[in-house]
Amino acid sequence: MLEIRNLHASVGGKEILRGIDLKVNAGEVHAIMGPNGSGKSTLALVLAGRETYMVTAGEVIYEGKNLLKMLPEDRAREGIFMAFQYPVEIPGLNSMTFLKAALNSIRKHRGLEELDAMDFLDLAREKMKLVDMSEDLMKRPVNEGFSGGEKKRNEILQMAVLEPKLAILDETDSGLDIDALKVVANGVNALRSEDRGMILVTHYQRLLNYIVPDYVHVLFNGAIVKSGGKELALELEAKGYAWIEEEVREACQVDLQEGGHAA
């Protein structure tokens, strides 16, 4: 479904991603963990098409297409969804109006009939139950005056309504209390399916108690330095990121020594 090869990206001349390789198949849930500044959010935003990041090398193939050449709106229509770490407030724009416009834009692209107001409301209500979202909240402008937890739930609601093929969750768990975390996790679990891929970007292992991943990758200094099964997350939780840093440093020194000999 998604194949990232040697992806390099920078912002303001500073290189953040330094050669990412990752393959996600339909039905798989991949967790990407890493310390602050490792490039987790950058990876998510590059996949979603944020133009402030410049891709300097590498490629991303999504369903056989060059993802990096696609506009953000086309990526969304082709089934990519990113839940924002910091969902954006849009004063004055009604949440339901926005979500209906988004859904119909995607449906139109998929050759489906656009939903009218009544059918959309039925669908939205059903999905709202999934993330325990009140209808009153959805009558308000997009994210305006929402609490942190409400904003994150709104992201999951949008995901549930838009039914992406590939969902990327950028630190959706950060800043949530345990109840909100459970609601978000339940929402995500309900959306797990054989034909949907998921990338969970997270700082904390805690999320993975509720959403069990198929693979865990550790991102450090802009590259994936370790990959494994779900047990890797527990190891990280027990030992902390310092352990990885140590390993990486040793590996680098080996590289340097080898490099030195070669020169």
Partner 1 sequence: MGITGERENYLSDFARFEKDISKNGQSWFGEIRRKAISRFAELGFPTTRHEEWKYTSVAPITKIHFNPCGYELNGLTVEKVRRAAFGELECSRLVFVNGYYSAELSSYRPLPGAVHLGSLAVALSTHRELVGPHLARYASYEEHAFTALNTALMRDGAFVNIPDGKVVEEPIHLLFLSTAGREPTVSHSRNLIVVGKNSQATIVESYVGLGESVYFTNVVTEVVLGENSVVEHVRLQRESRKAFHIATLQVHQSRSSTFSGHSVSVGGALVRNDVNAVLDGEGVDCTLNGLYLVKGQQHVDNHTRIDHVRPHGTSRELYKGILDEQSSGVFNGKVVVWKDAQKTDAKQTNKNLLLSENAEINSKPQLEILADDVKCTHGTTVGQIEEEQLFYLRSRGLDREIAQGLLTQVFAGETIGRIKIEAIRTGLEEILLTQFQKDKKHGETVQ
Considering only the stretches 50-58, 177-185, 189-197, 213-221, report the one whose residues sit in contact with partner 1 under the rule CB under 8 A: 50-58
* Residues 198, 167 contacting (CB under 8 angstroms): yes
Q: Which of 5, 26, 105, 132: binder of partner 1 (CB under 8 A)?
A: 105
The β-bridge relationship of strands 166-170 and 14-24 is unpaired
Q: How far is the CB of 133 from partner 1 (least distance, A)?
A: 16
Sign, CA torsion 90/198/69/225? positive
Q: Which of 37, 56, 71, 189: binder of partner 1 (CB under 8 A)?
A: 71
Site for partner 1 contains 60 (CB under 8 A): no
Site for partner 1 contains 101 (CB under 8 A): yes
Considering only the stretches 32-40, 59-67, 95-103, 255-263, report the one whose residues sit in contact with partner 1 under the rule CB under 8 A: 95-103
Q: Which of 5, 109, 165, 230: binder of partner 1 (CB under 8 A)?
A: 109
Q: Which of 31, 46, 76, 207: binder of partner 1 (CB under 8 A)?
A: 76
Exposed, middle or buried, 140 (CB in 10 Å: 0-12/13-18/19+)?
A: middle
- As a whole number of angstroms, the distance between CA 121 and CA 100 comes to 9
Count of residues that bind partner 1 according to CB under 8 A: 30
Q: Which of 91, 228, 229, 240: binder of partner 1 (CB under 8 A)?
A: 91
Sign, CA torsion 173/177/182/184? negative
Q: How far is the CB of 215 from partner 1 (least distance, A)?
A: 25
Q: How far is the CB of 144 from partner 1 (least distance, A)?
A: 11
Sign, CA torsion 236/245/61/54? positive
- As a whole number of angstroms, the distance between CA 82 and CA 159 comes to 8
Q: How far is the CB of 106 from partner 1 (least distance, A)?
A: 4
Measured in residues, the chain has a length of 263
Site for partner 1 contains 158 (CB under 8 A): yes
> Residue 17: which of 225, 213, 230, 197 has the closest Cα?
225
Q: How far is the CB of 103 from partner 1 (least distance, A)?
A: 8
Amino acid in position 13: G
Q: How far is the CB of 110 from partner 1 (least distance, A)?
A: 10
Site for partner 1 contains 106 (CB under 8 A): yes
Q: How far is CA 5 from CA 53, 69, 263, in A?
A: 17, 15, 28
Q: Enumerate binding residues for partner 1 (CB under 8 A).
A: 48-52, 71-73, 75-77, 81-82, 84, 87-88, 90-93, 98-99, 101-103, 105-106, 109, 158, 162
